[in-house]
Structures are given as structure tokens and as C-alpha cells.
Structure 1
Amino acid sequence: MIRLDHQIFLYFFSTFSSSYIIWFLWNPIWFNHFCIVCGLSIISWTLAYYFFEIFNQEMIDPVGKIVLITGCDSGFGNRLACRLDRMGFHIYAGVLLPDGDGAKQLQQKCSNRLKIMQMDVTKPEEVNNVVEQIKQSGMPLWALVNNAGIGISVPFDWGNDIDVYRKVFDVNIFGVVRVTKSCISLLRQSNGRIVNVASLAARITSPLSSHYSMAKHSVRVFSDALRREIGSSSKMKIITLEPSFYRTDIINHDSMNRMRRKIFDETPEDIRENYGEKYFRIFDKSNQMTESIIKNDYEAVIEAMIMAVAGENPKLYYRCCNYYEVIAFWALSHMPEIIVDYSVKYSGKLNKLLWIKN
């Protein structure tokens, strides 16, 4: 019996061949012109974006403007808070641990314009407290950067009920919505900006990342909804960032391995038996593969964040990735599903990494 994907390929090949033969025999001039116009349009659009980034470097005046950033304990949020503080913004840096190393580093490096705020985005009372302090400052809230996020990499059926999904969504999407709703009145008054940090993982879902990819895809959808609901009726700007693989606390193999063991122990016994202890070797190989593509210098992400917050005319999307990743992830995400599945399955021999006993 012919597999479904093979049948589709046969239909595609026969349709393509027949169409090509008809075109070759007919060879209409208008069709050639159409192909040329399409090609030139793609090239011109790409060049337009390139020139836009080169010549569109005007920055707004930061004096007297507040920027609220979530997830400043480390990573992108921590670095962005420092850079914006040097530019002259008043930074409200939301952290989980006000006495942690990340918060102490910010206090040492930055001016007194930066304020450390205890802000767990899953706790409404902490979010409301931060918003109230911004109101009492008497200065406008210019930008909200929804940066806080967590990542868990395990098979979709691990864990007790939907606990893993709930934990990831509580921070990565419900926290984003909660903070945005709490700040929206202040942002409307200032005609400010909402900067949401999504991920390239929202474009291509790889094995073991269903929780993270689903949440980050929801961030993209939320940004699109805000832009079409709010941005069309006001001067507010909604910007989305899609970083690729950078070394932040989300990609910490030691803590990730401990979390995997904990989640595995909470998984129902019949599911644990299906995987077995041997499956943990797969995570070691997965970690090695991640190390081969991860980037230590995330200055490109910070520059994109700065343009999103302080640029006079920011883009709607900033895809913080190299050309290879643009092709491998963003462009691939627009391909038919059968091509995406094959690419993900065979790229890096992932099919060998994802073996489970039946």
C-alpha cells in the first residue's frame, strides 16, 4: 500500500510535469512576464527592508520616559535594562529575585533611574503593585517589554495531567497578557509601545518542544491581535521579536536535566514504562546538538530590542537570526506541512534521537 506522503509526491510530480509540458509547448509571453514580475517583486521587497534598516536609525528622546521590562534577572532583559538606562530612559526592571545576582548587577552598573521591582508575572498582586508605582511616578509609561519566559524540553505526554503545559503557559503567555492588560491604559495615554518577545520556535515546532512552541506561537498571535485591535485605532505600536538560539538561562542543561527527571517521576507509570530510563540518553544527545547551534553573543537581539523601544519607526517584526536560520526556520515555516515534517525529521538525524520502544 502506498503511503499517503508518497501519494502526494506522485500527484505533485505528475501535476508539475504536466503543467511544465503545457507551458513549454504553449510558452505564452504573458506568463514569462508574470514570472519576471514576481521575481523582481521579491528582490525589491528584500532590498526595501535592507535599506529601511540602514537609513531608518532615528531615535526618540528618552528623557522622562519609563520602560517596564519583565524578566530582568538575566539574559535579554538584564542586558536591555542596562543599555536603555545608559540611553537615559527610566527603567522599571521586573525580577523574580530582588536580592539575586542579576538584580545586584543591575544596581551596580546602572544609574538611579533604574528601579528593581519584584515582579512574578504569574502573580496579579505583584504586577498591580508595579503598575501602581509607575502611576505614582508621574512620568509616562513609554514601553512595555514582555521578555519574561521559561522553557521546558520534554515529550508532550510527560508530567501529571497538564501541569507542564500550565507552568509554561502561565509565564510565557498568560503572564504576557496579564502585564499587558494592566499597563494598557498607561500605554494608551502615552501612545507608547508593546514589545513582545516570541521565538523562532513559534515558526517551526521541533520534537520535545511542544510546550514552548505552543506558548510562543500564542505570543505571536497575541501581538497580531493587539496590532489589529489597538494599533489600527491609535498611535501605539506593537512589535514582535523572534530570536533564535541564544545562551540564556532558558538553555541551561544542568537545570533542564533536573527538571526533566522531576517531571518524569511525576509521569503516570504506564507512560514511564513506554519510555524507560534509556530515553534519558536522548536528552544528552539533544543537549549536544543544541550546543552546536547556540550563540553566546546576543548583541543582535539587544540591538533589535533597542530599535523596537526607541526607534522612531520600528518594524513590526524583528527576526533576530542569521541568514541560515532565516532559510531553515522562517522560510521553511511557509512550506507545505509534508516538507516541514520531513525537514524536521531528518535534519540532524533527529529520527534517531527520538526513538522510543513500542
Structure 2
Amino acid sequence: MHIGILVSILSLIIYCLIRDSHRVRDLSGKHIFITSCDTGLGNSLAKWLDKRGFHVIAACVTEKGRQDLQSCCSLSMKTVNLNLADPSSISRAVLFVTEETAGKGLFGLVNNAEGTTPVAPTDWLRIEDFHSVLDVSLIGLIEITLKLLPLLKKAKGRVVNLINAKGLMAFVGGGYSLSKWGMEAFSDTLRIEIQHFGVKVSIIEHGFFMAGVVSSDVIERDLLRLWNRLTPEIREAYGEKYFAEYIKAQRLSVRRLCDSDLSKVMKCMEHALIAKYPRTRYGAGWDAKFFWLFLSYAPTCLSDMLLCIIFPTPAASGRSVPGILINI
């Protein structure tokens, strides 16, 4: 009985390893379109794939980002300006991709957008603060995916959505977690529906990487902006000590969890693009596999207890502000 179970498990592992090893044979002339390549993971991936001979079309928000990327890559690298919050900019980028692929279709779409800030307690925020994140990291990515679907279907290509594993559980206010959960749902729905046309959809749930993290200075500057615009009543309810400890908690979480080995996420993205049978989900980074995933499945009382230890409590709650009691 036990031997049969062991043999079955080993057979399944061997099957998965063999299946994972199969690659798409002919990659010549195939195009990969990547969003948000100014900096961070998108920029690193564009350079990584360009060195491996792919025909990369990299979308950048700024003209400087576009020129910088073009200057350090091969002549086959094409760049285009793209503002995911602007429908007309999305339409222009789609037209550019259509012309570049010249009737061949688009083999790969990598959706990458890290609209992070503002991240703050929910009652510090206004509706426009949610729009500033969701319009880019959710609605914009969905729109460009929908408009590129005809090209993806023509090439029987694949969609790879990069989603920070921190979004697997919601513990800070703002549009960040909303956008990640939204992209998870959109990816799963699209994967089930579009597979009938030969298009594959993968999700890469990555942890914190040095190239993909918004600077703690940016987060702190944005928190200070939000704090200064609060009414006196809300500021008094939270207290100056809460504000200082909240910034400290954000800073330490980024510092403790950041990984400098970008190859972990690059290899996942490359496999999702060139494997004959790409996985539905990839975990890239130790924190994605063992911290955020664990917390997302842990009992609510356990995750709440951990977050109460990490983050401070408002002055009006009547409890003392604990500060940082553990190093995550």
C-alpha cells in the first residue's frame, strides 16, 4: 500500500520534470511585448530576453526610459511609449505592436505594472488615490491584454502576468492589494477561456526583488503627503507615534524581505514564455513561497496576530503602540 503511494508520487514528480523540460522548438521571428520597462523587473526582463535573441518590444512610460533601454540593447529591441492610464496611449502602442509583428501575431505578452503608492490606512485615502493605482495596475493591464488578444490568438502565444505575492493578502489600505487580487481573478478567467484558441496564461507570483521594489523614500514621502492633508481629528486619532512607527514598519518589511538574486524571477518568466507546457503559477523568491503564500492560507487569527505585532495601533484605540517586535 505504502510502496504503491510512494511509486505514484515519484512517477508524478518525474512526469512533471519531463513535462517542464519541453521547450518551444522554433523561436525565430517570435515577438515578446513587455509593459513598464523603464525600471524594475520589466527593464531587467527586457534586457534578459534581448540577450537571448528574442524580438523584444518594450513599453516605457517615459521617453528617457525608452531611450536608455534602447541604448543598451541590441538593434532588434524595439521600444514604444505607453501610459497604461491613458486609453489613447494604449491604442497607439497596440498599433505599434501590430505593425512590428507584421502579420505573424504576438507570441508573448508580459504584463508588468507596479503601481504601488499610495499605501496607507484606508481612512487616510480618497477615491482618487485608488484610481492612481487601479487605473494602471488593473484596468490598464486588462485593456491592453484585451486589445492584443487577436494577435496572441493568431500566434497561439502566451500571456504572463507578474503579480507581487504581497498582494496575496490585504493588510494595507489603497489599491495595491485590490489590483493584485483583480489580476489574479482576470488571469484565471482568461486562462480557462482562451486555452481553446491555443493561448496559454501564466501567473508569476514574485516576492520582493531589489530591481522591483519602490524605494522606501518614495513610500515615506507619499505617506508624509497623506499625513499632512489629514484633518486634525484623524491625525489626533492616530497620533504622531503611530505615524513614525508605521513608516518604520514599511521600511523594515522592504529591507528584510528584499532579494538581490533577480535570476529567480527571470528564469520563471523565461520558462513561462518558452516552455511547451508553461505552468499556471510560478513562485519566485523565498518570501513568495514561504511567507506571503503561508500567510494567505493561514487562519485569519494567526495572520492578524502577526500583523498586529508588526504594525502599530492608533492612539485612539486605547492600546499602546507596540512598534516592531519581530524581524520579518
Please give the TM-score of this superposition, normalised by the length of structure 1.
0.79
2:64 partner amino acid: D
- The structural deviation recorded for 1:183 is 0.6
2:164, 2:180 within 8 Å by CA — same for their partners in 1? yes
Residue 73 of structure 1: SS of its match in structure 2?
Answer: coil
Choose the corresponding residue for 1:184, options 143, 146, 149.
Answer: 149
Choose the corresponding residue for 2:69, options 80, 94, 106.
Answer: 106
1:357 partner amino acid: A
State the distance in 2 between where 1:246 and 1:125 align.
Answer: 32
- The structural deviation recorded for 1:173 is 0.7
User: Residues 42 and 76 of structure 1: is their aligned pair in 2 closer, same or farther, counting only changes over 3 Å?
Assistant: farther
The yes-or-no answer on 1:297 pairing with 2:255 is no
1:64, 1:90 within 8 Å by CA — same for their partners in 2? yes
Residues 162-200 of structure 1, C-alpha deviations (whole Å, 9 max, x = no match):
222221111111111011011111111111111111121
Partner of 1:143: 108
Deviates more, 1:273-282 or 1:196-205: 273-282
The yes-or-no answer on 1:158 pairing with 2:121 is no
Choose the corresponding residue for 1:281, options 241, 244, 252.
Answer: 244
Residues 27-74 of structure 1, C-alpha deviations (whole Å, 9 max, x = no match):
xxxxxx7xx79x869965984587358x51524433212211001001
Partner of 2:181: 217
Residues 186-217 of structure 1, C-alpha deviations (whole Å, 9 max, x = no match):
11111111111112123233x33553122111
State the distance in 2 between where 1:243 and 1:41 align.
Answer: 32
Partner of 2:322: none
1:62, 1:87 within 8 Å by CA — same for their partners in 2? no
2:185 partner amino acid: V
Aligned-residue Cα RMSD (Å) equals 2.7
Partner of 2:30: 65
Residue 173 of structure 1: SS of its match in structure 2?
Answer: helix
Over 6 Å off, 4+ runs: none
Of the two, which has the highest radius of gyration? 1
Partner of 1:80: 45
User: Residues 339 and 276 of structure 1: is their aligned pair in 2 closer, same or farther, counting only changes over 3 Å?
Assistant: closer
2:242, 2:315 within 8 Å by CA — same for their partners in 1? no
Partner of 1:356: 314
State the distance in 2 between where 1:212 and 1:49 align.
Answer: 37
Deviates more, 1:56-65 or 1:190-199: 56-65
1:301 partner amino acid: V
State the distance in 2 between where 1:52 and 1:214 align.
Answer: 36
- The structural deviation recorded for 1:136 is 2.1
State the distance in 2 between where 1:41 and 1:194 align.
Answer: 35
1:66, 1:142 within 8 Å by CA — same for their partners in 2? yes
The yes-or-no answer on 1:319 pairing with 2:293 is no
Choose the corresponding residue for 1:271, options 219, 234, 248.
Answer: 234
Partner of 1:227: 191
* Gapped regions of structure 1 (runs ≥ 5): 1-32
Partner of 1:202: 167
State the distance in 2 between where 1:269 and 1:42 align.
Answer: 64
Deviates more, 1:44-53 or 1:77-86: 44-53
Residue 285 of structure 2: SS of its match in structure 1?
Answer: coil
Q: Identity of aligned pairs, percent? A: 27
Residue 83 of structure 1: SS of its match in structure 2?
Answer: helix
State the distance in 2 between where 1:225 and 1:78 align.
Answer: 28
Residues 5-42 of structure 1, C-alpha deviations (whole Å, 9 max, x = no match):
xxxxxxxxxxxxxxxxxxxxxxxxxxxx7xx79x8699
- The structural deviation recorded for 1:336 is 3.2
Residue 239 of structure 1: SS of its match in structure 2?
Answer: strand
2:107 partner amino acid: W
- How many equivalent pairs are there? 312
Please give the TM-score of this superposition, normalised by the length of structure 2.
0.86
Choose the corresponding residue for 2:214, options 251, 256, 260.
Answer: 251
Residue 198 of structure 1: SS of its match in structure 2?
Answer: strand
1:96, 1:118 within 8 Å by CA — same for their partners in 2? yes
2:141 partner amino acid: V
